[in-house]
């Protein structure tokens, strides 16, 4: 995409959702950290179901340590990999008490030293809790970046570094949220819902998915109409070339 197209891409996402945020439920940086660690290979909705009762009891690292690994395991047993996650949550809580005065650190280096915290988790915390311009690339953003041509890359780090380079102001702070939500609800993995995509005409994904009950041709026509509406330009009608005959012989004379 060109720089103008990238700007327009995010402008439209911002127009659709001016105030995006994480769908994980939390009350402070610590509960956000716990929720993000629990969300690995799990859905935000599934994590929220488990953390609602947990966070009524636990708001600080001290309270989590007091609950203990067995108590945490019982609270999050509906989430995948709950044994490992319970161990990590208690261990990171102990590390916060021991090394950071029970506060969540605000640097990538310190966050990544905590048990169960990788680059993506650190980026989420830095962006959502500390309002830093970071790009936490998950499977949704990786897919959107490659499928649309916005930020192609062979792995999540390449996509992250590409986004770091190309995303313009004033969209940098919220870009990660817009892309996740776009991938989760419109640019879906198995069947993207192209017919309701606000950036369909900017996207390089060729086999645009038509709306149920329509044809691919109708989807392309709808895309052209939406593009014309946004840009204020009517699509140029295609006319037969004067040098091309309307009827072609089916064999040589």
Closest alpha carbon to 24 in 66, 1, 54: 54
Instruction: State the catalytic residue, choosing from 138, 162, 188, 201.
Output: 138
Concerning whether 99 is annotated as a catalytic residue, the answer is: no
- Long-range contacts for 223-230 (Cβ within 8 Å, ≥24 apart)? 223/194, 226/200, 226/201, 227/200, 227/201, 230/12, 230/201
Instruction: State the catalytic residue, choosing from 77, 120, 165, 206.
Output: 120
Concerning whether 233 is annotated as a catalytic residue, the answer is: no
Residues tagged active-site: 120, 138
């Amino acid at each position: 995409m060109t720089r103008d197209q990238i700007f327009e891409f995010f402008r439209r996402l911002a127009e659709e959702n001016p105030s995006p945020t994480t769908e994980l439920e939390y009350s402070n940086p610590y509960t956000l950290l716990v929720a993000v660690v629990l969300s690995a290979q799990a859905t935000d909705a599934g994590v929220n179901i488990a953390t609602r009762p947990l966070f009524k009891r636990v708001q600080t690292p001290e309270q989590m340590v007091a609950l203990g690994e067995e108590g945490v395991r019982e609270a999050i047993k509906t989430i995948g990999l709950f044994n490992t996650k319970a161990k990590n949550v208690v261990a990171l809580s102990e590390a916060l008490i021991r090394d950071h005065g029970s506060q969540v650190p605000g640097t990538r280096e310190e966050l990544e030293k905590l048990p169960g915290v990788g680059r993506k988790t650190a980026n989420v915390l830095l962006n959502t809790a500390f309002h830093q311009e970071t790009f936490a690339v998950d499977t949704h953003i990786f897919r959107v970046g490659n499928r649309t041509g916005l930020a192609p890359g062979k792995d999540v780090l390449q996509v992250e570094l590409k986004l770091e380079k190309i995303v313009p102001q004033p969209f940098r702070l919220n870009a990660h949220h817009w892309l996740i939500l776009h991938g989760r609800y419109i640019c879906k993995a198995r069947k993207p819902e192209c017919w309701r995509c606000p950036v369909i005409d900017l996207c390089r994904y060729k086999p645009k998915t038509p709306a149920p009950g329509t044809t691919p041709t109708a989807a392309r026509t709808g895309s052209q109409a939406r593009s014309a509406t946004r840009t204020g330009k009517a699509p140029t009608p295609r006319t037969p070339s004067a040098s091309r005959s309307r009827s072609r012989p089916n064999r040589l004379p």
